[in-house]
Structure 1
Amino acid sequence: MTQAVITPVRGAGRVSALTRRPKFLLGAGIVAVYALVAVVGPLLVGDPHATGEDLLAGPSAAHLLGTTNNGQDVFAQLIVGFRSSLLVGLLAGTVTMVLAALVGVVGGYAGGWADEVLNLIGNVFLVIPALPLIVVAASYLHSSGIAVIALLIAVTSWAASARVLRAQTASLAHRDYVDAVRASGERGWRIVVVEILPNLYPILISQFVFAMIGAILGEAGLSFLGLGDLNSVTWGTMLFFAQNGEALSQGAWWWFLPPGLCIAVLGAALTLLNIGVDELINPRLRVQRRGRAQGDIR
């Protein structure tokens, strides 16, 4: 995500401008398809854990994406993986955004000792190496479910977002219209909710999308290493069992290629969403885009 000087937007009206950006629309369309499959798909396929007599069979009419070395249907696992992987991303993204907003917005607006304490907490989380901490904690918590993995990823990844929100909130807190509302006797929490928070919507959306990307890739990586919840069916656990079953050496491409492609396409779609949001809130990107467009006309 681009870290540049961000221009505040007055109200939530600018968020609607995202719908006019091709990159954002393409990414949103792909994510919408993924969400539809995640909601409806598991209801239309069988038990992903069910075994059969066809072991490591290729794609056929009976098994659209073949089977594993235990006779499990790869297509059923892939469809169920949509729901599991998206749930990880949504949960981790939501928790990350909430923690970052609480620490960043409250600290940026309050200032003083409250800001110092919250900033110290954020700095502590920033200097702690997240990856080793996640690996160590996941090795003890991998049997607790994908929700625990998502929360673990979120708790170790909110601090950078909080710094961005803190800086932007501190700038907005001293704008003329905020001073006017404060002088009228409006309560602090209402000023934050009504006057400041709407201007942070694009930044919050960007942080949420960025956190989703990291969470989905993080869960896939942990599961691939055997540190995820191996009792759940996710794209990461599919890759883990495909590696253990030596799918690559046996030419069983249908076992590891579909989940890998699903992760790659979803990551690309979320990145397009993030780029669309960055183009809205980053003035440098808007200027560059306008300059290229004028150059093409000439």
Structure 2
Amino acid sequence: MSHIEKKEFEIYRITPPPPQRDLQEYIRLYVQSGDDKYFYWFLHYYEPTLNEKAKSFRNKYSMEEHFADIKQSLVTGLCKALMKYDITIAPFLPYAQRYMEREVHNYIRTMRTGYSVQSEFEYARLRKVMDIFNHSGGEFTEETISQVATQIGESYEKTKSIIEGGILTENYVDIQSNDEDDTGTTDFLLPDSSLNPENIYFKQELYDKLNEAYDSLEYTEKIMLAQHLGFCPECFSTRYADKTDLDENDKPKEKPIKPLPYTDIATDHGFSDADTAKRVCGNAIIKLRKKI
């Protein structure tokens, strides 16, 4: 991977630093006052997380020269989320996650080296074609191409061209080299199954539906369900950094978030017994299923 310049990590740094508060508090102040400075203050303190997210996308999709643009796409997602955000419904960051992911994938769709799809319609068609192709055996033969062409109502040659592009997308990975920002190195080409358009499509659809359903829950239901299933209600991660247990590089080890028993959840929320906590979590899951 190419080197990331220091200035790209500090796009939103403010000197001297603004007053440090909870990130949600900056959003509350922005919503109530309309003063842009509070959103800038939010970005100042949220930037380390933005950097990690941008690096993760950069590495996953082998776009070593695109760190700053991916980071800007994440911020675009934050801005779009803020335009529709209702502070009385949910904390901002869990709400904004799907907006950020959507903007990054839209950027990747149009700019990724190797194969670019120039419109959302074409990208959706590509995903549909590759879904049918893979379920038809995934063999690049005249028979399979003809079957796909019949199902999508396109000519044989057009369908063949779309499938060729999809196969290229599935298998193209840039040659990588190690730098100070990344651990590990790859000096040969590998098939990148994570770029399978079918997988990207269905995962994104699932995440969007899950996020929308989770956002619809009441605040207490969200927290209790997160405790029961073992994930962070803010970022949805299933792991946390244990600052009391450091690795050989003096960095906190990542550990799984352990699901809490109903008795502990009930105690945390002031309920008299575990059955109440179990009932709240059960009702939350029912709501999620209905929404999905």
Counting helix residues as a fraction of each chain, which structure ranks higher? 1
Whichever structure has more strand as a proportion of its residues is: 2
- Measured against the shorter chain, the TM-score band is under 0.3
Question: Normalized against structure 1, the TM-score is what?
Answer: 0.26
Instruction: State TM-score, norm by structure 2.
Output: 0.26
